[in-house]
Structure 1
């Protein structure tokens, strides 16, 4: 039996926000589908159609109702336009949540990833009552490692051949932040 989770609150620092996905965020999903890396490591549809994009948004809602975790749209707080996704997914260990995120190409380099991660981690280790937030990152994803490091994550090690993709496997760097 799955137990629905309470919704994650909308969060903002005035520049970047996290909020529930809406059907009118479909353009963000379409842009993500065009990126070479996002569909490879996520459930964003590789072959985008409006129906596939809407189904993806509905799956993000079901993460919370199905007890899996939370998926939020990363938004430009000034315009409320979705520019990416941040997910906090429960791990098997009690008190541990995993974090993953992506930004559409045009939103990169503006600090949205750093601010979104900071907002989510602050909530997770505070009101969310988690003891540990961890990230699994491909070794070549230097920008993501930099974002996590700036947000107080520490590199713990490398899991060999840990991540599975349609085109093969990859090691994962494990980074975490603890309460």
Structure 2
């Protein structure tokens, strides 16, 4: 049964899957870009979840390279089904530095959620904020999303700095909104809208 809308959808189905997933350059002129994940990236991806700081904020974690490759296949299918967009953040298309994703794509309202992490060696160098700015510009200006949201634990000060630096305004606190390994956390909600 299809849902009847009183207003037309903000975005047209097919606006993503009609083309291959793009490679997105980040500003800075040092070769930082976002590209689709490949099988050769499985070890680097898994290593992120072996890092204590990444594990602290991400409770959905792979445990083997085989599982990571299954996730990559799911990411490919997400693009084809217009359910999500997942990129490796890399230097000159090679060395993986982090992850960027759009999830929860809502074409009716033109809204998506952003998620990211960076490997320990890339932290503190602006990699996450530049990658977030690149995917945000693409999603809002090129694809037609109207609002991008991200949330993080109120205890995750680094993620808060990344969001703010990339133009995401803090809109409020969602109380007791997520479970982490050490219990429930309040979550900051940030958003960036078209025209910000």
- State the TM-score, normalized to the length of structure 2: 0.80
Q: Does 1:96 align with 2:111?
A: yes
RMSD: 2.2
The alignment partner of 1:127 has SS state of: helix
Q: Does 1:31 align with 2:44?
A: no
Structure 1's 53 and 90: CA in aligned 2 closer, same or farther, altered over 3 A? closer
Q: Does 1:12 align with 2:25?
A: yes
The alignment partner of 2:90 has SS state of: strand
How many equivalent pairs are there? Answer: 175
For the 8 Å contact 2:75–2:84, the answer to whether it is kept is no
How many angstroms does 1:91 deviate by? Answer: 4.5
Q: Which has the larger radius of gyration?
A: 2
The match for 1:115 among 126, 130, 134 is 130
For the 8 Å contact 1:29–1:44, the answer to whether it is kept is no
C-alpha distance in 2, partners of 1:145/1:165? 17
How many angstroms does 1:42 deviate by? Answer: 5.2
**Which residue of structure 1 lines up, in the alignment, with residue 160 of structure 2?**
145
C-alpha distance in 1, partners of 2:178/2:160? 16
C-alpha distance in 2, partners of 1:152/1:110? 17
**Which residue of structure 2 lines up, in the alignment, with residue 178 of structure 1?**
193
C-alpha distance in 2, partners of 1:67/1:42? 24
Q: Deviations over 1:68-102 (max 9, x none)?
A: 2101111113x522121101113556111111100
For the 8 Å contact 1:83–1:104, the answer to whether it is kept is yes
- State the TM-score, normalized to the length of structure 1: 0.87
Structure 1's 66 and 165: CA in aligned 2 closer, same or farther, altered over 3 A? farther
How many angstroms does 1:41 deviate by? Answer: 1.6
Structure 1's 65 and 169: CA in aligned 2 closer, same or farther, altered over 3 A? farther
**Which stretch shifts more, 67-76 or 83-92?**
83-92
Q: Which runs of 5+ in 1 are unaligned?
A: none
For the 8 Å contact 1:38–1:102, the answer to whether it is kept is yes
The alignment partner of 2:52 has SS state of: coil
Q: Does 1:87 align with 2:101?
A: yes
The match for 1:54 among 41, 61, 69 is 69
The alignment partner of 2:130 has SS state of: helix
